[in-house]
Chain A
Amino acid sequence: DIQMTQSPSSLSASVGDRVTITCRASQDISNFLAWYQQKPGKVPKVLIYTASTLQSGVPSRFSGSGSGTDFSLTISSLQPEDVATYYCQKYNSDPRTFGQGTKVEI
């Protein structure tokens, strides 16, 4: 099975900082990658799909890039409401594995 590895596992940044989370697949998954945001006590919310397509309604400070095995999620200017855990997920094949998550704090 393809493994998804996120880094870092947690980070602390200041309001207004540019934050980048990376996700590496153990095999080529083309652009079959999504990013989710999960706030405490809430269900996950999709931010990005097909590696770089912004989900409707998601603020433009979120962006995704990458293809093949290396991907990234960038928050251009971190806001207090962005405190959450972020997950990548591959969906080119089953199992549709999630990364282990990156906890973002301020």
Chain B
Amino acid sequence: EVQLVESGGGLVQPGGSLRLSCAASGFTFSNFWMTWVRQAPGEGLEWVANINLDGSERSYLDSVKGRFTISRDNAKNSLYLHMSSLRAVDSAVYHCAIGWGWYEHWGQGTRVTVSS
């Protein structure tokens, strides 16, 4: 069974940093592109970043470029999102998802709240 379990969310002050993790199991992690998608409270889905199989290609939403870094460790079956210079508008539930195109499997998400 495919499982994606996010962790690392929490309350952080504006300008602060967090590192989110996504632990993957039930599939060959190194064979799949991975993605982060976020959803602010009461809002829609927003694609944040994706990463290719070996981490050599990464893409980002314009509003997070230079502040967020997506990475992966295939040996640990883990995906990461390092977030810095956090802003209130970054407050959301962050989901990891499998895939290059459409996303068949999603984690339940980890909540990030940016507030003083």
Contacts and interface: CB of A to CB of B under 8 A. Distances in A.
Given A43-B95, A87-B44, A87-B45, A96 B35 contact: yes
A101 B44 CA distance: 6
Contacts of A89: 45, 47, 102
Contacts of A101: 44-45
A95 B60 CA distance: 7
A49 B101 contact: yes
Interface in A69-106: 85, 87, 89, 91, 94-101
A100 B61 CA distance: 16
Contacts of A99: 44
A43 B104 contact: no
Contacts of A49: 101-102
A22 B58 CA distance: 30
Contacts of B44: 85, 87, 98-101
A94 B68 CA distance: 16
A23 interface: no
> Which applies to chain A's interface (DSSP): helix, strand, loop or mixed?
loop
A43 B108 contact: yes
B107 interface: yes
Interface of A: 1, 32, 34, 36, 38, 43-44, 46, 49, 55, 85, 87, 89, 91, 94-101
Given A89-B102, A91-B100, 13 more contacts: A1-B62, A32-B101, A34-B102, A43-B95, A46-B103, A49-B102, A89-B45, A89-B47, A95-B47, A96-B35, A96-B50, A101-B44, A101-B45
Interface of B: 35, 44-47, 50, 59-62, 95, 100-104, 106-109
14 contacts: A1-B62, A34-B101, A34-B103, A44-B45, A46-B103, A55-B104, A87-B44, A89-B102, A91-B101, A96-B35, A96-B47, A98-B46, A100-B44, A101-B45
